[in-house]
Amino acid sequence: MVTSNQGQTEAAPSPAPAGRRLAVDLLLFSLPLLLAWGGLEWFASRIPNVYSVKRKQLEGLSKQVDTLILGSSSGYYGIAPDQLSGSAYNLANFAQTLYYDDALAERVLNQLPKLRRVIVCVHYISLFCQLEEAAPERQYYYWHEWNLWPRRWRDNWDVRMGSAIALRSPEITVKELQTAAHRVARGGDWQRPYEDPEIDARGWGRSLEPAPPSPDLSEAAAKHALRIHHRLMHWRNEEPNLACFRRLLQRLSDRGIEPVLVVPPFWKTYIAEMDPAYWQETDTQLKSLARQYHARYLCYRDAPGFFPTDFVDLQHLSAPGAIRFSRLLNEALGSCPDRSPF
């Protein structure tokens, strides 16, 4: 059979046998692909990730943790638990939204008998952003590792709920497979313990240490970053996020746990490009929530004393910056309160 440019068949045999042959060909062609996919799927499901590591770490520390840190990457990189008094654990994560802060709190509160204080790190975009719009693939990690459903029902139908390769992106799976093959070739184990230097034993992300020699903190970079952020920020998300926030604060209040609302430092060019309407609204809402739930609201947005080397980019602190900020925070917070602070 010869196929022409336009996909027309010349001198084709009768359609039925040709169709059957095509079906058999397709099946034969797909078979090795399906086998390879299945193998990789099995392998990928065993690769640790930042979510599984944090879950295991927290399970291991559950008997001693008295302070829990929630929030997005600004909290993940920005607050070093070992700089806080007592025993703190950083459960913040990349792009983690208030929906997941609340859901995680619900999941872990009962497992942390000594918990006295929860620090919620609130970013400029926190009230207006949803994970399914900012980094959709991350919501499936919460399902795989914490059994937390995505916020929208239709995301439950995504294949990433069931496929580790689709979730991790094939690139990462294949890279991990290469590393594992090298390890086996050197006589090591197929499956390695998680050794990513990003996460320290208390969940703090300090992979950005040392900071790049010259992080781009220019006005142009701020404009670029905020253009992306503003694309993800929507007023329609404010009410659902506030509802989650209230639920979280009520949950803490019911258990006598002190909530602390913290806005981390940002670099000045980023602050200058913030939309006043979004920031005013965030500030007003945080003040109102703090009043309503007897929470402390600590805003370090424009805090002095931070230098370019304290940032890895406009909105994330480097390791030295995070240590400086965490010490400041610790001074402001004082030691952990007793079980019933109010």
Catalog residues that contact other proteins under the rule CB under 8 A: 1-10, 12, 15, 18-19, 21-22, 26, 29, 32-33, 137, 154, 157-160, 163, 166, 169-171, 174, 216, 218, 220-221, 224, 227, 230-231, 233-236, 238-239, 275-278, 281
Spell out the residues 6+ positions from residue 203 whose beta carbon is closer than 8 angstroms to its own: 54, 57, 58, 69, 76, 81, 89, 90, 91, 92
Nearer to other proteins, 132 or 258 (CB): 132
Work out how close the CB of 179 gets to other proteins at its nearest, in angstroms, rounded to a whole number. Answer: 13
Nearer to other proteins, 59 or 216 (CB): 216
Nearer to other proteins, 107 or 268 (CB): 268
CA atoms of 318 and 57, how far apart (whole Å): 22
Nearer to other proteins, 59 or 239 (CB): 239
Helix (H) or strand (E) holding 227: helix 219-232
Nearer to other proteins, 57 or 282 (CB): 282
Structure tokens at 239: 């009410």
Cα pseudo-dihedral 141, 143, 146, 151, rounded to 10: 110
Work out how close the CB of 131 gets to other proteins at its nearest, in angstroms, rounded to a whole number. Answer: 13
DSSP β-ladder status, 9-10 and 311-313:
unpaired
Work out how close the CB of 15 gets to other proteins at its nearest, in angstroms, rounded to a whole number. Answer: 6
Work out how close the CB of 235 gets to other proteins at its nearest, in angstroms, rounded to a whole number. Answer: 3
DSSP 205: B
Does residue 266 sit in helix, strand or coil? coil
Work out how close the CB of 288 gets to other proteins at its nearest, in angstroms, rounded to a whole number. Answer: 12
Nearer to other proteins, 89 or 141 (CB): 141
Work out how close the CB of 95 gets to other proteins at its nearest, in angstroms, rounded to a whole number. Answer: 12
Nearer to other proteins, 73 or 87 (CB): 73
Helix (H) or strand (E) holding 68: strand 67-71
Q: Are 116 and 258 in contact (CB under 8 A)?
A: yes
Work out how close the CB of 144 gets to other proteins at its nearest, in angstroms, rounded to a whole number. Answer: 15
SS3 sequence of 143-185: HHHHCCCCCCHHHHHCHHHCCHHHHHCHHHHHHHHHHHHHHHH
